[in-house]
Structure 1
Amino acid sequence: MSHYKEEQQRVDVVIEKVDEELKELDNRVGSVKSEIVSIRKNFWEDVKVNIDNIKEAVETAASIRQEAELLAEREHTHRHTKNEYNLLTKIKETPYFGRIDFKEDAEADTDEIYIGIGSFYDKENDEFLVYDWRAPISSLYYDYTLGRAEYKAPIGTISGDLLLKRQYMIRNGTIQSMFDTGVTIGDELLQEALGRNASEQMKSIVATIQREQNQIIRNDKSDVLIVQGTAGSGKTSAALQRVAYLLYRYRGTVHADQMLLFSPNELFNSYIANVLPELGEENMQQTTFQAYVEHMIGKSFTVEDSFAQLEYVLTKKNESTYETRVKGIQYKSSVEFMGLLEKYARSLSEKGLQFHDVTCKGEVLIEAKSICAYFYSLDMMIAIPNRMQLTMEWILRKLHEFEKIEAKKDWVEREVQYLNKEDYNRIYEKLEKDNQFDYYEKEHELLTKYVVKKHFRSLRRRVKKFAFVNHPAIFQQLFESKQKDIFVPDCWGDICKQTVKRLKNKQLANEDAAPYLFLKELLEGFKTNHLVKFVFIDEVQDYTAFQLAFLKRLFPKAKWTLLGDRNQNIFSHDQNRENNIIATLFTDHKVETVQLNRSYRSTKPIIEFTKCMIPNGNEIQAFNRDGKKPVCIKVSDEREHVENMVLKVKELKEKGYKTVAIICKTNEECMKVMELIRDTLYVHLVQKENTTYEKGVIVIPAYLAKGIEFDVVIIFDASNDIYYRESERNLFYTACTRAMHELYVYYAGELTKFLTHVPEELYIRERC
């Protein structure tokens, strides 16, 4: 019998046993669910309620607690069983993806270990049919080639010989391909390449890629892991496998909600949303820096996002205030500006803080100047955040006094008349308990107290959140005073005027968002998050030095995984950024850097073409995947351009490509393209508001396409009058490297200067 038939028979046996277990679990889930429904339904019937005396009250409390504990235990069992059922459903589709044959030293038999997304134990034969990919013995599969190997088990280090390493692609219970290899392939593209009778040279290249990725996945010693990877090197894929590995490695002490991923945009979140569940883990917390900032700022301002900022930088070059804005972006993105804010905050210890009046029903209870006077009456040796806390406590005491005064006012009497039935019942229950039901005065007193406390409750809540501090005015004051130090740009005065104008319109520029929050935290005290154990930042090269330093302050106990590619930095804040800014920020941490230079997402012709666009492109190594050379198509006018492109898209769809992206430089250009082709081609426009990733033909600005790959990319317009500024080189490179199989570049007139150094033999030139 062939190896393939033997292996398929084993898959069939495993699926059969999984089916049996699923039936049993299904019955168990249904049974536990029925118990939970019954307990909830009869909860108060099963509890004996008697509070006539202390003894009876204690017995009642014990009875309630016992019933609640039973309910909690059944609910926990239901969740656990349901999770087990969901895992087995996934195992049924793809029972495992790898096998190793390992012979322990001093043992006669060789163990056949099959590895999948979760363990599956055969109770009948008392053996594991599948081992979890994160189990100690599974590390042999990832860490070793054939030969001597060892792994760390709870009883100590186990040594032996690794005799076989086999990899499978199984879909819906059928083996699509399998191959024996010396290494482990974690990426489907690579698996498919090796499944087609790959050469020894190909296997050697893949071995290098996988060893590099395993350095990322299984690194648990570094405080800060920096992954510097070229486009298509699999850095994000490896990082997500790292999340699953860490959750397993630290199971019991770290949960998915203690891991936080900052991703480039909501579209990317949708793109990777199913990766962790496929690896057998819950999804970690995912957000974007923009969403995080907006949540923390609240409704004080309309906050510009980084894409709107970039759209401005790319489209408003002719405005008179353009250069001032760009210089402002660069300075406010620096750690030098952070130093200026710290200096400004220290000056506020003596004077300059601004506050809001504390009001109720439109009436001022405590004036802002009274709050200011109290704050500055406190000992200057006390830190500002501590004085803020003392001021907040003083305001709360004052509010308690005002509650008594407000209770006698007419508005309270009016609101008592409009209380609903539930409110009245709540008061009557209290009167009954106090045996005071017959006393009208007591009833009226409780009703007025209830109304006043209801209004003051939200007021107290706002005070506890320091809403009495006028942060927008304090931030604006920094720019009105034109406070400076030796690092400010020459045009600082103009930058200040621009900033004040925006702030007066309740608009917070993207470059001001993190500084605004930083100053707020300096005054109130940093609300550090000690629960988050691991922070992942994708596209870290797009973060400003200021933003990274701010995040470091917010998550002081976290370990960091930072993923980036300096060749894909597309924002203007990085023009003068130090190369070692991350190392500078994390001097007190153990930092390790992994370099991924081999790109395997795109075909070799596309990689050879795109790497000529950037400095140090010769460091990028192409994976040997054949394909068509990129095509640069010259058009003479708009009509010819659109007709040719529409025909090209239809041709590509007929070839079976699932994702075709027409990539434009800006959103403005995307809107123009939509107008031109909407009557001849069904396309989906992707904008920054999009939160889901859809297949088909899409029109998308280059900056939103980061981190996403498409079967085919069409660069809508690569003319030299579109892409000509040196600061746009990385944006153009990023757009072109999104293509996996085919790349088409349209242009009119002269082709962008970024392709000047690309040898002509690396691409095809065509005219319409």
Structure 2
Amino acid sequence: MTLELTPRDEEEKRLRQTLEQVSRQLKKEMLLLGDRRDDVVGIRQEFWDDVRMNFSDSNEVGETWRSIMQQAELLAERERSHKVASEAVERLTKQFDSPYFARIDFTEKGEQTDVIYIGRASLVGEDGLTFWVYDWRAPISSLFYDHEPGPASFAIPDGELSGDLMLKRQFVIRGGQMKHMFDTSETVGDEILQAVLSEGSDTAMKSIVATIQKEQNRIIRDEKHRMLVVQGSAGSGKTSAALQRIAYLLYRYRDTLKPNQIILFSPNPVFKGYVSRVLPDLGEANMRQMTFRELIEARLGHRFEVEDLFSQTEVLAAEEGTTEGAAREQAVRYKGSEHYFATIENYLKRLEREGIRFRPLRYRNMMIVSSEQMLEQFYEVRASDDFGERAARLRRWLLDQLKQWVDTQMNEAWLEEAAEVADQEVIQRAFVDVRRGGGFHDEAFDDEEHMNTKIRRQVAEDAIAPLVRAVRTYRFIDVVAVYQELFQSRSLFTACAPDGKLPCGWDWMALRAEVTLERKKIDHEDATPLMYMMEALEGFRLVEGDIQQVFVDEAQDYSPFQATYLRRRYPRARMTVLGDFNQAIYLQSQDSGGFDGWIRLMAPEHTAVWRLTTSYRSTLQIVQYTKGILAPEDAEGVTPFARMGEEPYVEACSNEATLGQRIAEAITKLETRGYGTIGVITKTAQESGIATELLKQQLSEEVSLTHVTGVSAQLPKGVSVLPSYLAKGIEFDAVLVWDASADRYGEEKDRKLLYTVCTRALHVLHVYYTGLPSPWLPMKS
């Protein structure tokens, strides 16, 4: 009598069969990889031995060239094969650990039931026909994320395919062993989600393909809209969904979309490192990733000293409560506004008729082209020509003028003197030029004169080379002077303002612009407007039209001005922006009115707005506590996932030394309990430096303590001490808040900052303060 197999036994058997498939394919790919590696090494070592070298005449040179190219093509082909085999080995190795995470049984109307296993990557049998595992991005896999058992359908290229979802089963497989198996009637079962969320944090973000929720799946697979705006509460999986969306798009459009055509704007360098592992874990190359600061530096950093957002935040914190600080806050809020953007746009329209400033081209005390001549050239063309056409035309004219000027200087005394002391490199170049022209042979009688002429011309061209470079990069337009003019004339500003009014604090802004810009220093609030004006006056020549997808994380931190700038810089791209206005911690965006600035960038029919309200990151107790920090109307949009944990701990400390001692004691206990990532989060960078020194004095040398700064690229294991703004988007097993006092977080604008800090915790939240607690902290009665 044979015993009937249980569902668990059947799944164990099927898992063993799948692992056998993986093992056989892995052995093949390993052998192929070894062969390809040997081929590549051999061809590289013997490259020149196999090339026939002969330069005796033009025919032999051509044959030599063909021989080199043949070897190069052979090497390139072997290197490509080696790369393919290497990627296959990496994929199969991961599949041997966990080949799939779900099974669905789907019956199309009138057809047999298909049993579908879903994993991070597809696995096709050695016959090339049998699908052992389907990629989670395949159209049929969406049934797992979007439906519970019963009537179901999924999108196909020709429309929609309907049927019945008969079974939905989830697995946790680690090291080729089945740890858990659940049948579920939910989109993704709570048991699996609880198990995954209860795991410890890591120094890099993980893939969430096994736990994607229905609302996240809509975002990941949206192909209809050009603008996706995702408002999600802290820990709702916004960033994870965005990264899975990138992986999905690379899979869906693999023939037309490459990783370097996708760009992700990250909030800081630490976050860049934190998310860098997700796409490689899914078998895809990383997209381009940068911060908005890096964009500013690339455009302005070589000419100006540009303040970054973090430095601005530190300055504002240091000047809080002063007259100067209040005036600067007003300027920061205004210069990120849509009112200011409209003012700049109106100013640019006026500049089409008059007012552009140009830098004259001079060499020593000699005027080559004056500003007046440039003005005449620029404005003599028809008004219908845009800035780009005019600037390009003026650029060509200036380059021609520089060439003509060199011609006029050939017999001048200064050039004769400079040519006499020309360095050896200039002389050598002149000799080569004359020799190529047929000089230095028996019939030549004027070679020396040719040499002298060549040397003089070379010296003259080298002398004005900086001017040529400046003209080629459009630096003949004095953008700073044009920008300053807006703050040097009240009548000009009011004429350009959409409401005909000066903003509050205009006089202070005008004085500040004069002082900073004259010193070649750019305040952060001036950087984007100045960059936008520079781009506009040059005709947006540096727009990146090859970028097809732009992702902006922590989008609530971007001002409306910055949002519009990004749209202009990537004119052909679809955009996905993600954020949480409960975490809007920077002044430049706090008056922006939510995501309206982003939503208005594209037509309504091309725009979708999604909300993610469930917070999965933290325990129910932490989510309930942090909701109490927010204003009631803001807290309404936050729903905790029912994962239980310990209550947040709040403690008063008599002074800073006691604060350091108590946090050091907590770190020791938390490490004993096995928490791998612990974040000590201060308000400012200055505080994080002080906290680091105090904790080093208290903790043993065995404790791994790292002071995370704005230049850090990776989040370390152990204890990280960092300022609030570098913690954005990152999570820790335990968070210890350094001095959540009324002195540090007492203003209304600090409420969301404190909320952001506390919501970094997965399992444990401790809040410490000196003096009086922040009025935003929920206190037990």
Query: Structure 1 residue 630 and structure 2 residue 648: aligned?
Result: yes
TM-score (norm 2): 0.87
Query: Would you say the 8 A contact 1:189–1:601 is kept in 2?
Result: no
Alpha-carbon shift at residue 419 of structure 1 (Å): 1.1
1:520 paired residue number: 534
For the residues of structure 1 that align with 2:508 and 2:642, how far apart are their CA atoms?
A: 53
Q: Specify whether residues 23 and 61 from structure 1 end up closer, same or farther in structure 2 by C-alpha distance, changes over 3 A only.
A: closer
Equivalent AA in structure 2 for residue 492 of structure 1: W
Larger deviation: 356-365 or 655-664?
Answer: 356-365
For the residues of structure 2 that align with 1:437 and 1:286, how far apart are their CA atoms?
A: 62
Q: Specify whether residues 155 and 332 from structure 1 end up closer, same or farther in structure 2 by C-alpha distance, changes over 3 A only.
A: closer
Query: Would you say the 8 A contact 2:652–2:769 is kept in 1?
Result: yes
1:181 paired residue number: 184
2:477 to 464, 469, 474: 469
Query: Structure 1 residue 545 and structure 2 residue 553: aligned?
Result: no
Q: Specify whether residues 402 and 674 from structure 1 end up closer, same or farther in structure 2 by C-alpha distance, changes over 3 A only.
A: same
Larger deviation: 595-604 or 32-41?
Answer: 32-41
Query: Would you say the 8 A contact 2:678–2:733 is kept in 1?
Result: yes
Q: Specify whether residues 686 and 66 from structure 1 end up closer, same or farther in structure 2 by C-alpha distance, changes over 3 A only.
A: closer
Equivalent AA in structure 1 for residue 560 of structure 2: A
Alpha-carbon shift at residue 43 of structure 1 (Å): 7.3
1:146 to 145, 149, 158: 149
2:748 paired residue number: 726
2:398 to 395, 405, 423: 395
| Matched position secondary structure for 1:687 | coil
Counterparts of residues 26-65 of structure 1 (less than 5 Å): 26-34=33-41, 36-37=43-44, 40-41=47-48, 45=52, 50-51=57-58
Q: Percent identity of the aligned residues?
A: 36
Query: Would you say the 8 A contact 2:706–2:720 is kept in 1?
Result: yes
Larger deviation: 697-706 or 132-141?
Answer: 132-141
**Count of aligned positions:** 746
For the residues of structure 2 that align with 1:238 and 1:316, how far apart are their CA atoms?
A: 39
1:711-767, Cα deviation, whole Å (9 max, x unpaired): 111111122232111111000111111111111111233221113xx4738xxxxxx
Larger deviation: 571-580 or 651-660?
Answer: 571-580
1:307-350, Cα deviation, whole Å (9 max, x unpaired): 12222222312332122111111111111111222222233344
For the residues of structure 2 that align with 1:148 and 1:433, how far apart are their CA atoms?
A: 87
Query: Would you say the 8 A contact 1:183–1:210 is kept in 2?
Result: no
Query: Structure 1 residue 583 and structure 2 residue 599: aligned?
Result: yes
Counterparts of residues 636-715 of structure 1 (less than 5 Å): 636-681=654-699, 683-715=705-737
TM-score (norm 1): 0.88
Equivalent AA in structure 1 for residue 610 of structure 2: V
For the residues of structure 1 that align with 2:660 and 2:579, how far apart are their CA atoms?
A: 35
For the residues of structure 2 that align with 1:94 and 1:41, how far apart are their CA atoms?
A: 45
Query: Structure 1 residue 594 and structure 2 residue 610: aligned?
Result: yes
Equivalent AA in structure 1 for residue 401 of structure 2: K
Q: Specify whether residues 157 and 492 from structure 1 end up closer, same or farther in structure 2 by C-alpha distance, changes over 3 A only.
A: closer
Query: Structure 1 residue 480 and structure 2 residue 492: aligned?
Result: no
1:201 paired residue number: none
1:530-555, Cα deviation, whole Å (9 max, x unpaired): 21111111111111011111111111
Query: Structure 1 residue 19 and structure 2 residue 26: aligned?
Result: yes
For the residues of structure 2 that align with 1:147 and 1:378, how far apart are their CA atoms?
A: 69
Query: Would you say the 8 A contact 1:262–1:538 is kept in 2?
Result: yes
Q: Specify whether residues 100 and 47 from structure 1 end up closer, same or farther in structure 2 by C-alpha distance, changes over 3 A only.
A: farther
| Matched position secondary structure for 1:232 | coil
1:245-296, Cα deviation, whole Å (9 max, x unpaired): 0111111111111111111111100110101111111111101111111111
For the residues of structure 2 that align with 1:422 and 1:626, how far apart are their CA atoms?
A: 79
Equivalent AA in structure 1 for residue 493 of structure 2: K
For the residues of structure 2 that align with 1:531 and 1:373, how far apart are their CA atoms?
A: 35
Equivalent AA in structure 1 for residue 749 of structure 2: S
Query: Structure 1 residue 213 and structure 2 residue 216: aligned?
Result: yes
| Matched position secondary structure for 1:317 | coil
Counterparts of residues 752-763 of structure 1 (less than 5 Å): 752-755=774-777, 758=778, 760=780
For the residues of structure 2 that align with 1:491 and 1:359, how far apart are their CA atoms?
A: 39
| Matched position secondary structure for 2:593 | coil
Query: Would you say the 8 A contact 2:101–2:210 is kept in 1?
Result: no
1:302 paired residue number: 305
Equivalent AA in structure 1 for residue 641 of structure 2: F
Query: Would you say the 8 A contact 2:152–2:165 is kept in 1?
Result: yes
1:342 paired residue number: 345
Larger deviation: 125-134 or 420-429?
Answer: 420-429
| Matched position secondary structure for 2:609 | strand
Q: Specify whether residues 575 and 87 from structure 1 end up closer, same or farther in structure 2 by C-alpha distance, changes over 3 A only.
A: closer
Alpha-carbon shift at residue 477 of structure 1 (Å): 2.4
Unaligned 5+ segments in structure 1 are: 197-205, 762-768
Larger deviation: 670-679 or 490-499?
Answer: 670-679
Larger deviation: 266-275 or 405-414?
Answer: 405-414
| Matched position secondary structure for 1:613 | coil
1:640-676, Cα deviation, whole Å (9 max, x unpaired): 3322221111111111111111111112222222332
Equivalent AA in structure 2 for residue 460 of structure 1: V
Query: Would you say the 8 A contact 1:136–1:153 is kept in 2?
Result: yes
Query: Would you say the 8 A contact 2:683–2:724 is kept in 1?
Result: yes
Larger deviation: 378-387 or 272-281?
Answer: 378-387
Q: Specify whether residues 459 and 123 from structure 1 end up closer, same or farther in structure 2 by C-alpha distance, changes over 3 A only.
A: farther
| Matched position secondary structure for 1:118 | coil
Alpha-carbon shift at residue 570 of structure 1 (Å): 0.7
1:203 paired residue number: none
Query: Structure 1 residue 223 and structure 2 residue 243: aligned?
Result: no
1:328 to 328, 331, 348: 331
Query: Structure 1 residue 370 and structure 2 residue 353: aligned?
Result: no
Query: Would you say the 8 A contact 1:15–1:173 is kept in 2?
Result: no
1:72-104, Cα deviation, whole Å (9 max, x unpaired): 544544443443343334333432333333344
2:105 paired residue number: 101
For the residues of structure 2 that align with 1:752 and 1:405, how far apart are their CA atoms?
A: 73
Query: Would you say the 8 A contact 1:306–1:510 is kept in 2?
Result: yes
Unaligned 5+ segments in structure 2 are: 200-208, 495-499
